[in-house]
Chain A
Amino acid sequence: MRWFWIDRFVEFNRGETARAIKNVTLAEDHLHDHFPGYPVMPCSLIIEGMAQTGGILLAEKLNFESLVVMAKIPKAVFHSWACPGDTLVYDAKILDAREDGGIVECTARIGERPVAEAEYVFACLPNSQSKTACQENFLKTMQLLGAGDVGPAAAGPN
């Protein structure tokens, strides 16, 4: 399993807000265990998708100069669910950002139906080569896959 829980950014307002989407498909193995015969996107992975949207938004604001780590989720509320065929829309907004961390507010929805809302505390750790390798690889791979090309796939990158 690849740890990419967003498919594409569709909006990116530097240092302020970002919107990403995640298409839920029946080809994802985990949906066959969660739950057998009744596939539902696990809440923990929706949490991760929102965190990836917000974490990249914050890291970009800080010019990717430090290791941005999700440290704490002070609040998470789930309103409904996501099934294969649904497109989750994640919206992230930076509430506060400073050199040692930041607070990001995120929501998830399908169309107009709210799915989840959460608040994240990210800690910014000093860069060190060994520790940042994974994050750099993650971002570069996302870039190669086109997830960072903001815009709808059909229209191509904006």
Chain B
Amino acid sequence: MPTADEIYTKVRDTLVDALGVDDDEVTPEATLVGDLGAESIDFLDIVFRLEKNFSIKIPRGELFPESLAADQTLVKDGVVTPQGIAELRTRMSHADIDKFAKNPKVENIQELFTVQMIVNFVQKKLAGGAA
């Protein structure tokens, strides 16, 4: 089992390769979309590279949940409902949902996707079972 630092370094290298960013741009707090310029197709590339670099399997939607905003019980009037927050906590235990819950606008969901979120996910994955 690699150390937290080793995981972080590998995640950083993965993002440098996938997004073409400099390694000093990759910080734990950096958001994939806002800070590192990731587009939707990059998420697929990132998943492929994480699987290869860490020898893990990441089922579709596990790291980056899909179609959350399309469910009206989870999102109403552009805001994630309390039920939606609970759903996020279940599906994204690797993300900082507490921070998001303070301003749960749907457009802020992408701010959950940080470098640290990926590190958390990989750590849990390597520790065994689903993240």
A-to-B contact residues, CB < 8 Å: 71-72, 74, 95-96, 98-101, 103, 121, 123
Contacts and interface: CB of A to CB of B under 8 A. Distances in A.
Contact of A74 (B18, B52, B60): B18
Contacts of B60: 98-100
B124 to A, nearest CB: 21
The 8 closest A-B pairs by CB, nearest first: A71-B41, A121-B45, A101-B44, A72-B41, A96-B48, A103-B48, A100-B60, A72-B45
A72 B51 contact: no
Interface string B49-77: 00110000000100000000000000000
A103 B60 CA distance: 16
Contacts of B18: 74
28 contacts: A71-B41, A71-B44, A71-B45, A72-B41, A72-B42, A72-B45, A74-B17, A74-B18, A74-B20, A74-B45, A95-B52, A96-B48, A96-B51, A96-B52, A98-B60, A99-B60, A100-B44, A100-B60, A101-B44, A101-B48, A103-B45, A103-B48, A121-B41, A121-B44, A121-B45, A121-B48, A123-B41, A123-B44
Contacts of A103: 45, 48
Q: Which of B18, B41, B52 has the most CB of A within 10 A?
A: B41
Q: What DSSP secondary structure best describes chain A's contact surface? A: strand
Interface of B: 17-18, 20, 41-42, 44-45, 48, 51-52, 60
A96 to B, nearest CB: 5
A71 B46 CA distance: 13
Contacts of B44: 71, 100-101, 121, 123
A99 B52 CA distance: 16
A4 to B, nearest CB: 25
A119 to B, nearest CB: 10
Contacts of A72: 41-42, 45
A37 B18 CA distance: 39
Contacts of A123: 41, 44
Contacts of A96: 48, 51-52
Contacts of A121: 41, 44-45, 48
A74 B45 CA distance: 9
A50 to B, nearest CB: 17
Q: Which of A74, A96, A103, A123 has the most CB of B within 10 A?
A: A74
